C-alpha cells in the first residue's frame, strides 16, 4: 500500500532528514551544548520528582529542532553574544512543557518510542512539572534581558495554549475544514517555530525586514513539519516513528488527511467517518478502512503536497538573509523535512 511516502530516501548516503539535522547540529554544536547545560541547571531542584520527570522528557531523543532554529537564526546574522543560548533553551522548555501537558490531555502512552511521563509518574505530576518547566522557560527569557523578545515569546506561549484549546474543541468535529485546521496548526506548532527563529533574529540586531523573513520562515517550516507529522500518523511505520501509528485516528483528531478524506467521501461513506471520528466508535479494521479511503482519494498525498508548498515558501524566506552556512543548513532542513519517513 502506497500513501505517497514510499519514495522517501532511507539510505544514510542519500540526502535525508537525519543528515540535514546532523548538518545543522554540527554547525551549532557548541551553542547546543550550552543550551543543554542551561536546561539541566534550570531543571535542578531539591524536589527530586522535578529533575526526574524533566530529565526523562529532555533525554528522550528529541531532535532539538526548535532551539537549533533560534541558534542558527542568531548566528546567521553574525550574532556573537550568548543570549541566544538562553532563548534557545527557553524555546525548548516551552516545547517540553507543552508536550507534558499534551500527553496528559491526549492520554498518550508513548512518545519517541518511550513511555510518557504521565504513564510513569502520573497525570498530576505531569501537570505540575509542566508548570514548573514553563516557569523556568520564562525565567530564561527574562535573563536574556530583551523586552522585544519577551513580548514575542510571551505572546507565543498564549497562542500555543489557545491553539491547544481550539484543537480540543475541533476534536471529533467532522465539520472542521482546511482553514480551521490550518489555524490550529499555526497556533499549536507554527507559532513556536516562528518565535524560535524570530527571537534569534531579534537578538542578533538584524533589520526589520530580515526579522520578518525569519518569522515567516519559522511559520512556514512549522506548518510543513506538522502536516508531515499528520501524514505519517496514517502512512508511517511504527518502528520509524517511535510512536504508535494511528494515534491521531484513535483520538478522533481532525488532521489534514481526515479533513481531505471527509471532504472527498461518497455520500454513503460519510456515516463511516461520523461513527469513527465524531462518535468515537471504532472497531477492528476501521483504521485500515480509513487508510483505504485516504489512498483512493489522495488524502495523504495531498497533505504532503500541501506541506511541500509551505516548505517552498520557507525556503524562499531564507533568500532575504545572508548567504552562508547557516542559511544553507536551514534550507536543507526544510527540504529534507518534507520527505522524511519518521
Q: At what angle do helices 208-235 and 286-296 cross, to 10 degrees?
A: 120
Q: Does 165 bind a copy of itself (CB under 8 A)?
A: yes
Cβ distance 77 to 204 under 8 Å?
yes
Looking at beta carbons only, is 151 or 323 nearer to a copy of itself?
A: 151
Q: Does 217 bind a copy of itself (CB under 8 A)?
A: no
Angle, CA of 333, 255 and 247, to the nearest 5°: 90
Measured between alpha carbons, how far is 133 from 294 in angstroms, rounded to an integer?
A: 39
- State in angstroms the smallest separation of the CB of 165 from a copy of itself: 5
Q: Does 76 bind a copy of itself (CB under 8 A)?
A: no
Q: Does 180 bind a copy of itself (CB under 8 A)?
A: no
- State in angstroms the smallest separation of the CB of 201 from a copy of itself: 19
Q: Does 26 bind a copy of itself (CB under 8 A)?
A: no
- Cell reading at 56: 526523562
Q: In 3D, which of 46, 25, 50 has the Cα closest to residue 35?
A: 25
Greatest Cα pair distance, the chain, in angstroms, is: 62
3 state SS of 115: strand
Angle, CA of 156, 60 and 122, to the nearest 5°: 80
Q: Does 194 bind a copy of itself (CB under 8 A)?
A: no
Number of other residues whose CB lies within 10 A of the CB of residue 151? 11
- State in angstroms the smallest separation of the CB of 74 from a copy of itself: 20
Number of residues lying near a copy of itself (CB under 8 A):
41
Looking at beta carbons only, is 8 or 254 nearer to a copy of itself?
A: 254
Looking at beta carbons only, is 155 or 270 nearer to a copy of itself?
A: 155
Q: What is the DSSP string of 36-68?
A: HHHHHHHT--SSTHHHHHHHHHHTS----HHHH
CA dihedral 266, 268, 273, 279 (to 10 degrees): 160
Looking at beta carbons only, is 151 or 279 nearer to a copy of itself?
A: 151
| Residue 260 burial (10 A CB sphere; 0-12, 13-18, 19+) | buried
- Cell reading at 333: 532542513
Beta bridge partners of 114: 111
Measured between alpha carbons, how far is 58 from 5 in angstroms, rounded to an integer?
A: 29
- State in angstroms the smallest separation of the CB of 58 from a copy of itself: 16
Residues in CB range of 198: below 8 A, 6 or more apart:
73, 152, 211, 214, 215, 218
The interface mask with a copy of itself, positions 260-299, x = CB under 8 A, is ----------------------------------------
Looking at beta carbons only, is 106 or 211 nearer to a copy of itself?
A: 106
Measured between alpha carbons, how far is 45 from 49 in angstroms, rounded to an integer?
A: 8
Contacting residue, 10, 168, 263, 281, with a copy of itself by CB under 8 A: 168
- State in angstroms the smallest separation of the CB of 252 from a copy of itself: 13
The interface mask with a copy of itself, positions 115-154, x = CB under 8 A, is --------xxx-xxx-xx-xxx-xx-xxx-x-x--xx--x
The interface mask with a copy of itself, positions 79-108, x = CB under 8 A, is -------------------x--x--xx---
Looking at beta carbons only, is 18 or 150 nearer to a copy of itself?
A: 150
Q: Does 175 bind a copy of itself (CB under 8 A)?
A: no
Cβ distance 213 to 321 under 8 Å?
yes
3 state SS of 59: coil
Looking at beta carbons only, is 121 or 249 nearer to a copy of itself?
A: 121
- State in angstroms the smallest separation of the CB of 268 from a copy of itself: 34
Residues that bind a copy of itself (CB under 8 A): 45, 47-50, 98, 101, 104-105, 123-125, 127-129, 131-132, 134-136, 138-139, 141-143, 145, 147, 150-151, 154-155, 157-158, 160-162, 164-166, 168-169
Amino acid at each position: 500500500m502506497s500513501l505517497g511516502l514510499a519514495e522517501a530516501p532511507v539510505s544514510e548516503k542519500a540526502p535525508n532528514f537525519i543528515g540535514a539535522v546532523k548538518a545543522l547540529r554540527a554547525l551549532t554544536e557548541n551553542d547546543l551544548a550550552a543550551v543543554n547545560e542551561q536546561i539541566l541547571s534550570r531543571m535542578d531542584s531539591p524536589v527530586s520528582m522535578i529533575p526526574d520527570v524533566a530529565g526523562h522528557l529532555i533525554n528522550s531523543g528529541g531532535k532539538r529542532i526548535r532551539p537549533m532554529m533560534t541558534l542558527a537564526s542568531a548566528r546567521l546574522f553574525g550574532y556573537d553574544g550568548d543570549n541566544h543560548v538562553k532563548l534557545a533553551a527557553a524555546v525548548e522548555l516551552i516545547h517540553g512543557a507543552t508536550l507534558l501537558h499534551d500527553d496528559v490531555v491526549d492520554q498518550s502512552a508513548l512518545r519517541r518510542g518511550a513511555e510518557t511521563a504521565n504513564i510513569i509518574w502520573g497525570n498530576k505530576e505531569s501537570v505540575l512539572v509542566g508548570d514548573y518547566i514553563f516557569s523556568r522557560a520564562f525565567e530564561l527569557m527574562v535573563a536574556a534581558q530583551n523586552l522585544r523578545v519577551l513580548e514575542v515569546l510571551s505572546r507565543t506561549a498564549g497562542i500555543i495554549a489557545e491553539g491547544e484549546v481550539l484543537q480540543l474543541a475541533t476534536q471529533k468535529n467532522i465539520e472542521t475544514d482546511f482553514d480551521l485546521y490550518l489555524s490550529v496548526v499555526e497556533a499549536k506548532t507554527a507559532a513556536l517555530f516562528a518565535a524560535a527563529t524570530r527571537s534569534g533574529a531579534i537578538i542578533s540586531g538584524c533589520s526589520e525586514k530580515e526579522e520578518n523573513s525569519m518569522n515567516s520562515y519559522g511559520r512556514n517550516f512549522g506548518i510543513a513539519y506538522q502536516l508531515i507529522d499528520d501524514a505519517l500518523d496514517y502512512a508511517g511505520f511504527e518502528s520509524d516513528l517511535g510512536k504508535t501509528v494511528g494515534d491521531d485516528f484513535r483520538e478522533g483528531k481532525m488532521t489534514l488527511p481526515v479533513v481531505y478524506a471527509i471532504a472527498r467521501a461518497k455520500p454513503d461513506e460519510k456515516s463511516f467517518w461520523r461513527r469513527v471520528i465524531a462518535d468515537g466508535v471504532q472497531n477492528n479494521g476501521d483504521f485500515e478502512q480509513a487508510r483505504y479511503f485516504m489512498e483512493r482519494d489522495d488524502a495523504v498525498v495531498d497533505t504532503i503536497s500541501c506541506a511541500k508548498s509551505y516548505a517552498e515558501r520557507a525556503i524562499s524566506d531564507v533568500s532575504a538573509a545572508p548567504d552562508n552556512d547557516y542559511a544553507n543548513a536551514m534550507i536543507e532542513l526544510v527540504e529534507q523535512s518534507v520527505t522524511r519517513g519518521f
